[in-house]
Amino acid sequence: VTRPTLQLLLVGFGHVARRFVRLLAEQGERLPFTATVVGIVTRRHGLCVADRGLDAVAAADLVERGGLLSPPEASSPEALVNVVFDLREAAVGGRVVMVETTLLDVRDGQPARRHVDAGLHAGLHVVSANKGPAAFAWRALQHTARRANRSFLCEGAVMDGIPVLGLVRDTMPGVRVEGFRGIVNTTCGFVLSAMEQGQPYAAALAEMQARGIAEADPSLDVDGWDAAAKVAVLANAWFDAGVTPHDVARTGIAGIEPRDVLAAAARGAHLRLVASGRRLSAGVALRVAPEVLEPGDPLATLRGVENALYVTTDLLGEVGIVQRTGTLTQTAYALVADLARVAAVGAGHLQP
């Protein structure tokens, strides 16, 4: 069986994208597609473009040694638009994919929304690990994708590479999701878990930053914005809610005192940041807030970096998925899984 070759334009070349290009190289023959990186665009590290493909692992080595892909002034929003525009002809056959891994801006999901939109309009498929586009503009971007006969996929937006969106989309045809509830922010789960062991809040948060798990701006985690963005993604995907993270009732963990955590732990309960959403007869109820999880609550068994999501459905009752490990490899894998789907749809093996 010949494997389709995808041409990739990487927009953003940070921790996730660099792990992703190494994972592509490591997985090689095991993947159901082959991939050629034809461009890399960053914000401050320059850009490089090569129609015939470039050595992305060497580019990752270069950036990790402190090098630049080109003079930094070469990378600008206009330069990115030009790179995308130049790929239009190559994209006609449906084999060019934008891999979007820029940073989440919780004010409006930009500039990632513009990147996704520009990619789809130029005939590229788009896969993204950035929550912004799906959290702020799911409906519009899926509409644009359908009209262009292209895919916009973002499995990495929620629980990294653990198949959450794919679980429902690909394995539960005809099932209606009524609600969901979970622990989906690794940093907050880890910090609260560490506080139960007597570790100070600041030290636990610093450990998450050192491990590259906390967002570049950790207030996105501790103020509940990351979890709210994930709730918005799920509500948009499963309820067609048309919401943004600003529609999620949100309380973070920054105000939690050690005594609150320890008081819960003393009676076998656990204080955690819980994300939830459910359909109402009219509209939706979406929430991120600290909750005391009593023993017997399936979320109460999670420790450290573990995440879980329980989905309530009409036909299958409650279905849960647990993530025990959350490293960059899992996030990078989400992009690989999305690309495998793009390749399978292109080969006619899956419905878009």
Ligand X SMILES: NC(=O)c1ccc[n+]([C@@H]2O[C@H](COP(=O)([O-])OP(=O)(O)OC[C@H]3O[C@@H](n4cnc5c(N)ncnc54)[C@H](OP(=O)(O)O)[C@@H]3O)[C@@H](O)[C@H]2O)c1
Omega of the bond leading into 111 within 30 degrees of 0 (cis): yes
Q: Which amino acid, one-letter code, is at 151? A: S
Q: Mention every residue, 6+ apart, whose C-beta is less than 8 A from residue 217.
A: none
Question: Rule CB under 6 A: is residue 53 a binding residue for ligand X?
Answer: no
By CB under 6 A, is residue 43 in contact with ligand X? yes
Kindly state whether residue 39 participates in binding ligand X, applying the rule CB under 6 A. Answer: no
Binding of residue 37 to ligand X (CB under 6 A): no
Q: Is 101 in the site for ligand X (CB under 6 A)?
A: yes
Q: CB-wise, 293 or 328, nearer to ligand X?
A: 328
CA 200 to CA 22: how far, in whole Å?
Answer: 35
Report the residue from 39, 133, 156, 179 that binds ligand X according to the rule CB under 6 A. 156
Residue nearest to ligand X (CB): 14
Smallest distance from ligand X to CB 57, Å: 16
Q: How long, in residues, is the chain?
A: 352
Q: Does 41 bind ligand X (CB under 6 A)?
A: yes
CA 312 – CA 177 distance, rounded (Å): 6
User: Which position among 4, 15, 303, 347 is part of the footprint of ligand X (CB under 6 A)?
Assistant: 15
Residue 65, token pair as written in the block: 């040694």
163 binds ligand X (CB under 6 A): no
Q: Residue 204 and residue 186: Cα distance in Å, rounded?
A: 12
What's the min distance (Å) between Cβ of 261 and ligand X?
A: 24
CA distances from 229 to 97, 106, 107, 138, 179 (A): 24, 8, 11, 12, 16
CA distance 254 to 221: 10
Examine residue 103 and tell whether it contacts ligand X (CB under 6 A).
yes
Token output for 75? 């990378």
The secondary structure of residue 120, as a DSSP letter, is H
Near ligand X in 244-303, by CB under 6 A = none
Q: Which residues ranging from 61 to 80 are in contact with ligand X (CB under 6 A)?
A: 80
Counting contacts by CB under 6 A, is residue 328 touching ligand X? yes
Determine the Cα angle at 170 with ends 284 and 134, to 5°: 45
**CB contact at 8 A, 286 and 276:** yes
Question: Is residue 123 at the binding interface for ligand X, with CB under 6 A as the rule?
Answer: no
Q: How many residues bind ligand X (CB under 6 A)?
A: 29
| Catalytic residue list contains 131 | no
Q: How far is the CB of 125 from ligand X (least distance, A)?
A: 18
Using CB under 6 A, pick the residue from 8, 97, 104, 231 that binds ligand X: 104
Closest CA to 22 of 10, 305, 32: 10
Binder of ligand X out of 180, 331, 337, 339 (CB under 6 A): 331
Where does residue 255 rank: exposed (0-12), middle (13-18), buried (19+ CB within 10 A)?
exposed
Question: Is residue 119 a contact point for ligand X (CB under 6 A)?
Answer: no
Catalytic residue among 113, 230, 250, 341: 230
Q: Is 130 one of the binding residues for ligand X (CB under 6 A)?
A: yes
List, by residue number, the catalytic residues: 230
Positions touching ligand X (CB under 6 A) are 11-17, 41-45, 80, 101-104, 111, 129-131, 156, 160, 212-213, 215-216, 328, 331
